[in-house]
């Protein structure tokens, strides 16, 4: 039987010439057509004439175009145009009428359905395609769009291995809750399909679709779970003789266990499918982005996965720590990252050459997400902009990968390894990748490593390197920053890669320090770097050093600014800078500085945080790491295992920041009245109230019974420690120096512990009610009170007999710094604190699980406390009575809170966060609960182009 088609070869529709049919479905016919205006082939989808009379079909047809065209993602079909026009037959006959059409990207390839059942593609490859598709769907969900008709036939795999999600014909824009309208939302209310209308392909429907209920993004998660099941078993999960029976199974039955059909499917895949196919939306995996991340991890580690067990079903585990993440962050940087949410206006950039203001952002600049993993650490563009190298991973496990920008192809250069990799950079010829790797033997040092760009054996090319390297134009030398903390200076080093020799050609002395990585000018004459002076000066200076003599020229200076990386634009007429301008109210953003004019233009201007930058020539391209985080506070009961959410942030700017716990309340920093202020909320939940902490921005907060102590960035650009009563009265300044960083407050609330950022660096102690401050340790920058409040534990950097520096832990008196005890030779240890029976507890960073150990004050061998055999610990904290130990364990997906007895027995998981990270956790004073700050942090590389 011949099928009647709307269009025939050589027909004309608008400016399209029909070549031939590609397919047809319930929502339209698809043709291969030539766009004669742009001279390219497209897929042209039209609505059959007999269906034009259906207003509902026309509406849904138009909705597909609007939904898909609003998205810009490599894993979503690109929509070129939507229109309506007369058909002009090739025969020359009169027009056959007007039709609706969508012009879209032509993808040459096969559907996932064909990959499943015709090509018999292996499961690992299929999971890679599905991970790409999940990234595209996550993009749609982030824009408020639910697909509602996911199935293998709606995911196309191009001939070059790129997955594309098709057919948003059933998509609807999710409605926003009352009062949550966003200025950046695509639309306030979209397609409001009435409850009772059943749309979608029955075998992949969610239970709520079958029942005709309104749906959200979790319906797509269920449908995607059905596709995953089919990929693993080559069968649909719900099969019956009729659609009605199929829908009954979706509502009331579980699919046949995957292991009964294909026993070789890894347990991690089976677990993921089960989490997607829960009947109740609240019990499913809640984010398509998390699903994409898990799929990528499974693909990366596929050969090592077992078909019999998963990390989620084992009885114990742990997680590798990234100690810096839980370390103290500069209060100025914290404030700069968040006060943008308060809407503070823009300030003026005062350059040495003319005092030009910062110009408005590039209006036509285009930013595209390149990695879409969420766990990227850092990245770099090749000189020609064709390749992006990036390091990804969590909990101290890293992989180095290279992505071809034009095609999206992604290859593994270094497999996932138990090491911290950082700061990649391409050699000028693109043949090699250089990167930093933490030394196993000496964790305080990084080695400079090199590996061929397409993979191979890594080799060490330098030692004690503290920043990304920049290359001389001929590629023979590199320049980098090296910190020399024992001499309170930082240096720029030039290393000859062939001879292996180094020379120190520039030094920066405290209170000034080098902000980040340097950059060698294209003509080889200058090396640019930002220097930072902490309070009381609080300024950043863009410095040009002569590459041969080291002569210094201060090119640009800005107060209340903190810039880190800088990169020359290849034509030498400007530089890209990344950093924060506090009084402009922006987070760490990307800027372009003209050279030699000194005019600065802001490239980005949003609520995300940008870290580092590399630049490619030709048509200028900038790559930077973009970070976004949403977090909330939770109250966890370690006895009965319940978890209660205390705050309800749904955006980065509304997230709580640092916090501490009183007997019945939690004190935390949050945005209020255009400032970062303090608020208190009942420990058991309820309404919170703001405290008046005076002008300025409050950051680190420590609460003791009856008193709240906090840091405040004041109008003079300095950070001081302040105190107030719990009821908000009695505001009073505690420290009066040149800028202080609050470390701790004694349990009795009588003394404070802090650092200074001027020339008198070290750990200091002072009475909270006023009095002289005492320098306890000039070589330390971290410290905490012992529970009796009379002594302090400090970490000092000390040179050993070999000339290397190691951390020595000391116990000193809080009033004059007299040394009472010293702990040496602890190896690769971190996260120090007081343990039971006058012991010191720490995490052994050489242990694969980062387990907790204790060593007695009198010396002797260390004793292992926690006994996790998988995962990694990223933090530990003793209860007030020292009888229980709370730890954070990373299981490869996210982090959760566990509690063990003081001897390490009776390990119990307390929280069940799904793909979230825990940044801070604290016991309540009575030891009955733990307050946790947990959230989702997304870190991906973004590339910016189109700077005309």
Per-residue pLDDT reduced to its tens digit, 526-582: 999 999 886 556 789 999 999 999 999 999 998 878 898 899 999 999 999 999 876
Cα 867 from Cα 125, distance rounded (Å)? 36
**What is residue 192's predicted lDDT score, i.e. its pLDDT?**
35
Other CB atoms within 10 Å distance of the CB of residue 940: 20
- The tokens for 829 are 């240890």
pLDDT of residue 938 exceeding 90, the answer is no
- pLDDT band of 307, cuts 50, 70, 90: low
Cα 144 from Cα 86, distance rounded (Å)? 34
Listed in sequence order, the residues at least 6 apart from 502 whose beta carbon sits closer than 8 Å to its beta carbon are 462, 493, 494, 495, 496
- The tokens for 232 are 């693993």
Q: What is the mean pLDDT of residues 278-300?
A: 86
- pLDDT band of 457, cuts 50, 70, 90: very high
Residues annotated as part of the active site: 149
Other CB atoms within 10 Å distance of the CB of residue 635: 21
- pLDDT band of 190, cuts 50, 70, 90: very low
Inter-residue contact 465 to 498 (CB < 8 Å): no
Other CB atoms within 10 Å distance of the CB of residue 727: 10
- The tokens for 647 are 């705050």
Inter-residue contact 768 to 754 (CB < 8 Å): no
**According to the per-residue pLDDT averaged within each range, which of 98-102, 141-145, 424-428, 637-641 is highest?**
424-428
Minimum mean pLDDT range among 238-252, 281-295, 421-435, 712-726: 712-726
Residues shown for the chain: 948
pLDDT of residue 329 exceeding 50, the answer is no
**What is residue 62's predicted lDDT score, i.e. its pLDDT?**
67
Inter-residue contact 667 to 703 (CB < 8 Å): yes
**What is residue 800's predicted lDDT score, i.e. its pLDDT?**
64
Minimum mean pLDDT range among 53-57, 299-303, 520-524, 920-924: 53-57
**What is residue 481's predicted lDDT score, i.e. its pLDDT?**
96
Q: Which residue has the tokens 């949050």?
A: 670
Question: What is residue 944's three-state secondary structure?
Answer: strand
Q: What is the mean pLDDT of residues 200-217?
A: 84
Q: Is the sign of the CA dihedral 594, 597, 598, 599 positive or negative?
A: negative
End-to-end CA distance of the chain: 56
DSSP class per residue in 68-87:
HHT---TTBPPEEEEEEEEE
pLDDT digits (tens, 9 = 90+) for 621-665: 999 999 888 889 999 999 888 899 999 887 777 789 899 999 899
pLDDT of residue 318 exceeding 50, the answer is no
Inter-residue contact 258 to 229 (CB < 8 Å): yes
**What is residue 604's predicted lDDT score, i.e. its pLDDT?**
86
The residue among 573, 926, 534 whose CA lies nearest residue 756 is 534
**What is residue 551's predicted lDDT score, i.e. its pLDDT?**
93
Other CB atoms within 10 Å distance of the CB of residue 221: 26
Listed in sequence order, the residues at least 6 apart from 186 whose beta carbon sits closer than 8 Å to its beta carbon are 70, 143, 144, 173
* pLDDT > 70: percent of the chain: 82
* pLDDT > 90: percent of the chain: 35
> CA dihedral in degrees (346, 352, 356, 357; nearest 10)?
0
- pLDDT band of 327, cuts 50, 70, 90: very low
pLDDT digits (tens, 9 = 90+) for 689-728: 888 888 878 888 999 988 999 988 776 667 788 999 988 8
Q: What is the mean pLDDT of residues 814-843?
A: 83
**What is residue 353's predicted lDDT score, i.e. its pLDDT?**
31
Distance of CA 788 to the CA centre of its chain: 39
**What is residue 488's predicted lDDT score, i.e. its pLDDT?**
79
pLDDT of residue 616 exceeding 50, the answer is yes
Inter-residue contact 830 to 321 (CB < 8 Å): yes
**What is residue 574's predicted lDDT score, i.e. its pLDDT?**
94
**What is residue 521's predicted lDDT score, i.e. its pLDDT?**
97
Cα 450 from Cα 464, distance rounded (Å)? 15
Q: Which contacts of 371-374 are long-range, i.e. CB under 8 A and separated by 24 or more positions?
A: 371/403, 371/940, 371/941, 372/73, 372/75, 372/135, 372/138, 372/139, 372/292, 372/940, 373/292, 373/293, 373/296, 373/940, 374/289, 374/292, 374/293, 374/937, 374/938, 374/939, 374/940
Which residue would you say has higher pLDDT here, 917 or 473? Answer: 473
Question: What is residue 480's three-state secondary structure?
Answer: strand
**According to the per-residue pLDDT averaged within each range, which of 346-355, 467-476, 837-846 is highest?**
467-476
DSSP class per residue in 381-447:
E-TTSSEEEEEEEETTEEEEEEEETTT--EEEEEEEESS-EEEEEE-TTSSEEEEEEE-SS-TT-EE
**According to the per-residue pLDDT averaged within each range, which of 222-236, 316-330, 648-662 is highest?**
222-236
Which residue would you say has higher pLDDT here, 57 or 791? Answer: 791
Cα 23 from Cα 21, distance rounded (Å)? 6
**What is residue 944's predicted lDDT score, i.e. its pLDDT?**
92
The residue among 201, 224, 222, 198 whose CA lies nearest residue 211 is 198
Inter-residue contact 150 to 220 (CB < 8 Å): yes
pLDDT of residue 331 exceeding 70, the answer is no
Partners of residue 389 on adjacent β-strands: 380, 402
Other CB atoms within 10 Å distance of the CB of residue 215: 26
- The tokens for 257 are 């266990």
Q: What phi-psi label fits residue 115: left (phi over 0), alpha (psi between -120 and 50 degrees) or beta?
A: alpha
**What is residue 213's predicted lDDT score, i.e. its pLDDT?**
82
Which residue would you say has higher pLDDT here, 179 or 374? Answer: 374
- The tokens for 107 are 């993808």
- The tokens for 216 are 């959200």
- The tokens for 536 are 């009381």
pLDDT digits (tens, 9 = 90+) for 874-896: 999 999 999 999 999 988 777 89
E strands in 271-386: 318-319, 366-369, 376-381
pLDDT of residue 447 exceeding 70, the answer is yes
Question: What is residue 824's three-state secondary structure?
Answer: coil
DSSP 582: G
DSSP 256: P
Angle of CA points 671, 674, 676, to nearest 5°: 40
**What is residue 504's predicted lDDT score, i.e. its pLDDT?**
93
- pLDDT band of 762, cuts 50, 70, 90: confident
**What is residue 433's predicted lDDT score, i.e. its pLDDT?**
97
Q: What is the mean pLDDT of residues 58-83?
A: 73
Minimum mean pLDDT range among 42-51, 634-643, 647-656, 779-788: 42-51
Question: What secondary structure, in 3-state letters, does 797-808 show?
Answer: EEECCCCCEEEE
Angle of CA points 893, 899, 901, to nearest 5°: 145
Task: Please provide residue 450's backbone torsions phi and psi, each rounded to the nearest 5 degrees.
Answer: -135, 140
Which residue would you say has higher pLDDT here, 908 or 187? Answer: 908
**What is residue 57's predicted lDDT score, i.e. its pLDDT?**
63
**What is residue 328's predicted lDDT score, i.e. its pLDDT?**
35
**What is residue 634's predicted lDDT score, i.e. its pLDDT?**
95
pLDDT of residue 295 exceeding 80, the answer is yes
**What is residue 362's predicted lDDT score, i.e. its pLDDT?**
62
Q: What is the mean pLDDT of residues 125-129?
A: 92
pLDDT of residue 97 exceeding 50, the answer is yes
Mean pLDDT of the chain: 81
């Amino acid at each position: 039987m011949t099928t009647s088609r709307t269009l025939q070869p050589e027909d004309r529709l608008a400016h399209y010439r029909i070549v031939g049919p590609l397919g047809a479905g319930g929502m339209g016919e698809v043709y291969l057509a030539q766009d004669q205006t742009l001279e390219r082939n497209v897929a042209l989808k039209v609505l059959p004439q007999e269906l034009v009379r259906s207003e509902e079909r026309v509406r849904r047809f138009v909705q597909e175009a609007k939904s898909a065209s609003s998205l810009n993602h490599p894993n979503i079909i690109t929509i070129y145009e939507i229109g309506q026009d007369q058909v002009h037959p090739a025969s020359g006959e009169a027009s056959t009428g007007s039709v609706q059409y969508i012009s879209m990207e032509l993808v040459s390839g096969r559907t996932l359905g064909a990959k499943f059942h015709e090509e018999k593609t292996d499961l690992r490859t299929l999971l890679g395609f599905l991970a790409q598709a999940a990234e595209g769907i996550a993009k749609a969900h982030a824009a408020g769009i639910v697909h509602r008709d996911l199935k293998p036939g709606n995911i196309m795999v191009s001939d070059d291995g790129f997955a594309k999600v098709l057919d948003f014909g059933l998509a609807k824009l999710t409605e926003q809750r009352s009062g949550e309208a966003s200025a950046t939302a695509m639309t306030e209310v979209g397609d409001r399909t009435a409850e009772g209308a059943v749309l979608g392909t029955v075998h992949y429907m969610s239970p709520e679709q079958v029942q005709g209920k309104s749906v959200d993004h979790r319906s797509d998660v269920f449908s995607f779970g059905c596709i995953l099941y089919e990929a693993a078993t080559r069968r649909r999960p719900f099969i019956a003789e009729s659609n009605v029976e199929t829908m009954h199974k979706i509502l009331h039955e579980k699919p046949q266990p995957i292991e009964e059909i294909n026993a070789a499917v890894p347990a991690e895949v089976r677990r993921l499918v089960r989490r997607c196919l829960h009947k109740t939306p609240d019990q499913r995996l809640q984010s398509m982005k998390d699903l994409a991340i898990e799929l990528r991890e499974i693909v990366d580690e596929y050969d090592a996965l077992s078909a019999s067990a998963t990390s989620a079903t084992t009885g114990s585990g742990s997680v590798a720590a990234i100690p810096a993440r839980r370390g103290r962050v500069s209060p100025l940087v914290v404030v700069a990252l968040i006060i943008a949410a308060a809407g503070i206006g823009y300030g003026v950039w005062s350059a040495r050459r003319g005092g030009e203001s910062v110009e408005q952002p590039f209006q036509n600049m285009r930013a595209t997400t390149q990695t879409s993993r969420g766990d990227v650490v850092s990245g770099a563009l090749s000189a020609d902009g064709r390749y992006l190298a990036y390091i990804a991973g969590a909990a101290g496990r890293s992989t180095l990968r290279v992505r071809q920008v034009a095609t999206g192809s992604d290859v593994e250069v270094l497999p996932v390894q138990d090491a911290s990799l950082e700061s990649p950079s391409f050699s000028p010829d693109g043949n090699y990748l250089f990167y930093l790797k933490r030394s196993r033997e000496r964790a305080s040092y990084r080695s400079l490593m090199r590996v061929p760009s397409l993979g191979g054996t890594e080799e060490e090319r330098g030692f004690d390197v503290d920043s990304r390297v920049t290359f001389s134009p001929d590629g023979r030398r590199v320049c980098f920053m090296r910190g020399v903390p024992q001499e309170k200076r930082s240096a720029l080093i030039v290393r000859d890669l062939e001879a292996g020799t180094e020379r120190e050609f520039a030094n920066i002395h405290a209170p000034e320090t080098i902000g980040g990585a340097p950059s060698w000018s294209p003509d080889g004459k200058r090396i640019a770097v930002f220097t930072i002076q902490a309070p009381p000066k609080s300024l950043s200076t863009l410095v040009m050093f002569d590459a041969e003599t080291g002569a210094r020229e201060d090119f640009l200076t800005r107060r209340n600014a903190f810039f880190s990386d800088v990169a020359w634009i290849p034509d030498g007429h400007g530089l890209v800078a990344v950093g924060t301008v506090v009084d402009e109210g922006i987070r760490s953003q990307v800027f372009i500085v003209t050279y030699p004019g000194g005019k600065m233009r802001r490239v980005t201007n949003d609520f995300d945080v940008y870290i580092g930058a590399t630049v490619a020539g030709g048509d200028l391209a900038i790559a930077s790491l973009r970070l976004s985080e949403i977090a909330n506070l939770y109250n966890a009961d370690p006895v009965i295992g319940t978890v209660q959410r205390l705050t309800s942030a749904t955006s980065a700017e509304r997230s709580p920041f640092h916090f501490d716990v009183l007997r019945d309340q939690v004190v935390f920093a949050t945005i209020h009245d255009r400032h970062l202020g303090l608020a208190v909320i009942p420990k058991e939940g309820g309404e919170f109230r703001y405290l008046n902490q005076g002008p300025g921005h409050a950051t680190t907060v420590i609460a003791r019974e009856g008193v709240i102590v906090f840091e405040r960035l004041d109008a003079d650009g300095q950070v001081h420690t302040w105190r107030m009563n719990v009821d908000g009265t009695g505001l009073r300044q505690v420290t009066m120096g040149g800028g202080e960083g609050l470390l701790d407050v004694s349990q009795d609330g009588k003394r404070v512990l802090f650092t200074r950022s001027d020339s008198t660096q070290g750990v200091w102690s002072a009475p909270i009610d006023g009095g002289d401050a005492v320098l306890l340790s000039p070589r330390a920058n971290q410290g905490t009170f012992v529970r009796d409040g009379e002594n302090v534990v400090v970490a000092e950097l000390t040179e050993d007999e070999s000339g290397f520096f190691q951390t020595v832990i000391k116990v000193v008196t809080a009033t004059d710094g007299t040394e009472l005890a010293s702990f040496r030779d602890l190896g690769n240890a971190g996260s120090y604190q007081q343990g039971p029976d006058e012991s010191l507890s720490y995490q052994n960073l050489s242990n694969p699980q980062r387990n907790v150990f204790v060593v007695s004050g009198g010396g002797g061998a260390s004793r292992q406390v926690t006994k996790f055999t998988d995962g990694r610990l990223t933090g530990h904290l003793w209860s007030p009575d020292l009888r229980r130990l709370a730890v954070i364990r990373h299981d490869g997906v996210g982090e959760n809170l566990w509690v063990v007895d003081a001897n390490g027995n009776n390990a119990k998981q307390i929280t069940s966060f799904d793909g979230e990270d825990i940044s801070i956790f604290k016991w309540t004073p009575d030891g009955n609960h733990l307050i946790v700050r947990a959230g989702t942090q997304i870190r991906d590389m973004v590339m910016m182009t189109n700077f005309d």
